[in-house]
Structure 1
């Protein structure tokens, strides 16, 4: 399952209303580290399909949710369970580290 794009308008239904955990990657097109981890997140999305949904939110196109959540640095990955943020990871990391962190939080 590939990553999904979420917007300010779809955040409540796609993330907060999801019946399974959702990892939201807050990113921007101009962010080099964000682009570095994008392929790893796609692979992890396939590998952990059924366990977690991986969503991407462009903070330049969607400013409401990132500002409500206090996003100040990117890439920022926030894991939501039952509509609540339960864990977050700031900055780029190798795929193995990202996957191990995520699996540890699920």
Structure 2
């Protein structure tokens, strides 16, 4: 992933950004006020079910959406206490403020984002 700071400050990415490692995640969290991080695995059925919801939230909310493949980024997942997938972490102003595990409805995730978007 390449993150151009001028690009990320102008607007949040309209689609999920795949993260490869801590520095990628740190860059996205620093560049955006609200970031929803989807810790997922390719083999995970519930993760695949959640994919369209995550894509919609990336396109329709002011949150940047980051996707972290836990198999490729085990240390990063461990550092965030991920024990099951999907796990979604919400960052606001650089700090993790929410974490939910399992498939969530679009309304529930949108509500979490909106709560921290003020």
TM range (shorter): 0.7 to 0.9
Q: Runs of 5+ in structure 1 lacking a partner?
A: none
Which residue of the other structure, out of 5, 9, 12, is the alignment partner of 2:26?
Answer: 12
Which residue of the other structure, out of 76, 79, 104, is the alignment partner of 1:68?
Answer: 79
**What's the TM-score, normalizing by structure 2?**
0.79
Residue correspondences, number: 103
Q: Runs of 5+ in structure 2 lacking a partner?
A: 1-13
Distance across 1 between alignment mates of 2:35 and 2:48? 20
**What's the TM-score, normalizing by structure 1?**
0.87
SS of the aligned residue for 2:81 comes to: coil
Distance across 1 between alignment mates of 2:25 and 2:107? 27
Structure 2 contact 86–103 (Cα < 8 Å) conserved: yes
52-61 or 6-15, larger mean C-alpha shift: 6-15
Shift of 1:19: 3.5
Shift of 1:101: 3.1
Runs of 4+ in 1 over 4 A off after TM superposition: none
What's the counterpart of residue 31 of structure 1? 44
State the superposition RMSD in angstroms: 1.4
Shift of 1:66: 0.8
Structure that is richer in helix per residue: 2
Is 2:117 the counterpart of 1:93?
no
